[in-house]
Amino acid sequence: MKKILVTYAVQGEFAEIKWPDVQVYYVRTGIGKVKSAYYLTDAINQIDPDLVINMGTAGTVNHQVGDVFVCRHFIDRDMHKIADLGLEYELDSSALLNERGFCKHWTELATCNTGDSFLTELTHVEGDVVDMEAYAQAFVCQSKKIPFISVKYVSDVIGQNSVKHWEDKLEDARKGLAHFFNVLKESI
């Protein structure tokens, strides 16, 4: 039986996954790259999953509240700012997912831009959605050779909404993520 580790940052983002023939484990990582990487690494060491799925909310510049994106490409916007120093700031999880045969029928493709700040003002952001955890988790999984995918529910439009708007949208996000995992995608 396949073991799936599902990560989420805050309780309001949690949606139970009910798939046949898989054993699902959950870990709440907290907000931000450091906490996220730490708690994910600890959970991986205990569970040894076949796949890690990150679920949660995200902001966007070009899309609508309520949209759901499947991310296999990740950018660390904090490291992107100093890319001239030769630091890695981008990664893609597609190859390992394909190699292990996971999420092949999940045809949605998106880029998640991760940083340690909640963006509220409109600025140039590369990618479809922005969050505060996915790049760090993708990095940990890539380092440990574990397939990783992130599913993000758009909770706010950068420059139009506030942190309060994000908090108000958590219930909608939980319902949207549950619908995605248990109706639209009934398996990996």
**Alpha helices for 57-133 (secondary structure H):** 77-80, 94-100
Is residue 92 predicted with pLDDT exceeding 80? yes
Domains of the chain, by residue range, sit at 2-184
Assigned CATH class of 2-184: alpha beta
The Cα 1–Cα 43 span in angstroms is 18
d(CA 174, CA 132): 18
pTM of the model: 0.92
- Summarised one tens digit per residue, pLDDT across range 14-57 is 999 999 999 999 999 999 999 999 999 999 999 999 999 999 99
Contact 8, 26 (CB under 8 A): yes
Cα 25 from Cα 62, distance rounded (Å): 33
DSSP 10: S
